[in-house]
A and B are shown apart, each in its own frame.
Chain A
Amino acid sequence: MNIIVIMKQTFGTEEKIVLKDGQVSDDNVEFVINPYDEFAVEEAIRQKETHGGEVTVVTVGLPRAEQALRTALAMGADKAVLIDGTDVPADEFVVSNILHAYLSKRPFDLILGGNLSVDNGAGQVAVRLAELLDIPQLTTITKLDISGGIAHAERNVEGDVESVECPLPLLATAQQGLNEPRYPSLPGIMKAKKKPLERVTVQELGLDQEALAPKTNITERQLPPKKQAGKVLMGEIADQAKELARLLSEEAKVI
């Protein structure tokens, strides 16, 4: 089975956000594979272990994203593709066009990705890509079994569990609970250094101007207003509970 994982390098989730000249600063930031994409990488490797085949991880990003691709290779992916998006102004429309341009010429049975990235958080790119490739999608999956060319999946739909069947090829996005991603082993890390990593520039994909012109523009970034220090209550616990109930009802007026 030919499995593609679309992934993204993001800030670690414990990072604070600092704005510098209106941009999100990446000084001294720890980068990771987007946690939802990490579930997708793990799932791809597990499917390969069951069915055989090959796992290719693909990202559109800056050259530093190579680190995330190497981590995926160390986990057990076979090949990596870094589509260098340096100096390409890109929104979800543009990124999905870039991925489509690359993937439409390649064979695949299954595309996996995270259901959203923890930085931008829009969750658009994978779904747009499915539309551009004209394949079905199963989003926010928490279980995936494939047999006889048919995927049997469970989707987490706002807490409800939906069981769904769909023939391959398809695109699926990972929700938390799908699996427990492995840590790269030391031999895995050594092997990853020798695995093929293809570098492509966006310009080489031959996209036209329309496909590379973002449909949305970011005009400003800001931090949320700072919270004032709150009120820590004092006294007997029973009195505190009474006081808190009163404050929520009379002062904050939320009850």
Chain B
Amino acid sequence: MKRIVVIAEIRHGHLRNVSLEALTAARKMAAGQTDCEIVACVFGEHPEMADVLAEYGADRVIFIRNGQLASYTTAAYRQALLQVLDVLDPDAVVAGHTAMGKDLMPRVAATYRAGLVSDCTQIENGNGELTFVRPIYAGKAFEKRTITGDKLFVTVRPNNIPAEPARGRGAVETMDVEVKDLRAVVKEVVRKTAEGVDLSEAKIIVSGGRGVKSAEGFAPLRELASVLGAAVGASRGACDAGYCDYSMQIGQTGKVVTPDLYIACGISGAIQHLAGMSNSKVIVAINTDPEANIFSVADYGIVGDLFEVVPLLTEEFRKIVGKL
């Protein structure tokens, strides 16, 4: 492998942590090979981000320049990326398995008639033989895949390949691209995640099920989340009951998450929910029913009413977090 392109993604003005994880993934793919260049590509000009990309292993940082790239659209980013890849001719392209990665990478892989391993959680490199581990059935099982062909495309799941600093050369360039004939036009974006932390990248998730009983029932969970800097999720039961938006749903339908800490409040633990969260590093279950299935995957459990337990926990965490 001579060159790997990593797509560095910016969301709401910030470089995403998963992009640093993608840089580490690229370094794992290049391990054992001399002279493999890692190129971070950023859509738009963000010179302030060059340093951190270099710190995590980028030998080159390319800012892709065109007025139409301020925010993501499939067609503009696709055209821009194809022009960059035509110039760079990399052996592999790595991106985060994010809304953008999922929307863009299959399309670009299809253009090159290339293989794409989506939602990779681990990369094994045995003397240059690359094996990619990814969840199937939302994490009820895992499969290992190898890729053939001249170009490999990979998306990595956030929170699974820890970003490790390793200084790259960090040479900064800009590349102008042409963008034309855009058919889809974005009229408006309503940010609903402004105050919250994104579920897929959250280190801590506080999640509610039918036990929260109403939309207002999420209030103590939100308070706990704000003390911990956590995201708030939900089970399908809570979404179906109308207590919260479907964008919060965790499970085999919904988001699959792997935070460091998952606090399940009033969630019974249906198989389809467990599929979406049981690979979290530490799981806490709070439920009135001692027989609830959620306890079978929990590292720590409290049998009790979430409306009593959660506020007490919030106070305890406030003391601990305050001490730090």
Identify the A interface with B (CB < 8 A).
Answer: 11, 13-17, 19, 24, 35-36, 91-93, 96, 118-125, 127-128, 130-132, 136-140, 142, 156-167, 170, 175-177, 210, 214-224, 227, 229-233, 237-238, 240-242, 244-249, 252, 254-255
Contacts and interface: CB of A to CB of B under 8 A. Distances in A.
B185 A219 contact: no
Contacts of A162: 186, 188-190
Contact of B187 (A142, A163, A215): A163
Interface string B98-124: 110011001101110111111100000
B295 A248 contact: no
B198 A15 contact: no
B316 A244 contact: yes
8 closest A-B pairs by CB? A215-B115, A245-B316, A241-B312, A122-B118, A127-B106, A13-B272, A166-B184, A177-B246
A124 B118 contact: yes
A15 B271 contact: yes
Contacts of A163: 186-190
A130 B186 contact: no
Nearest to A178: B246
Given A136-B75, A156-B247, A215-B147, 8 more contacts: A161-B189, A177-B247, A210-B113, A216-B145, A219-B131, A230-B299, A231-B301, A252-B282
Given A121-B138, A255-B228, A14 B271 contact: yes
26 contacts: A11-B137, A14-B270, A15-B271, A121-B118, A121-B138, A127-B103, A127-B107, A128-B109, A132-B110, A137-B103, A142-B246, A159-B198, A162-B190, A165-B184, A176-B239, A177-B246, A219-B146, A222-B141, A231-B301, A233-B300, A233-B301, A244-B284, A245-B319, A254-B204, A255-B228, A255-B320
A175 to B, nearest CB: 8
Contacts of B279: 224
Contacts of A128: 106-107, 109-110
A134 to B, nearest CB: 10
Interface string B189-230: 111110010111000100000000000000000000000100
Interface of B: 11, 74-75, 98-99, 102-103, 106-107, 109-111, 113-119, 131, 134-149, 183-193, 196, 198-200, 204, 228, 239, 245-249, 251-254, 256, 260-261, 270-272, 275, 278-279, 281-285, 290, 295-304, 308-309, 312-313, 315-317, 319-321
A171 to B, nearest CB: 11
Nearest to A131: B110
A75 B138 CA distance: 27
Contact of B138 (A118, A136, A137, A140): A118
Contacts of B308: 237
B300 A230 contact: yes
Contacts of A237: 302, 304, 308-309, 312
A249 to B, nearest CB: 5
Contacts of B114: 93, 215
A19 to B, nearest CB: 7
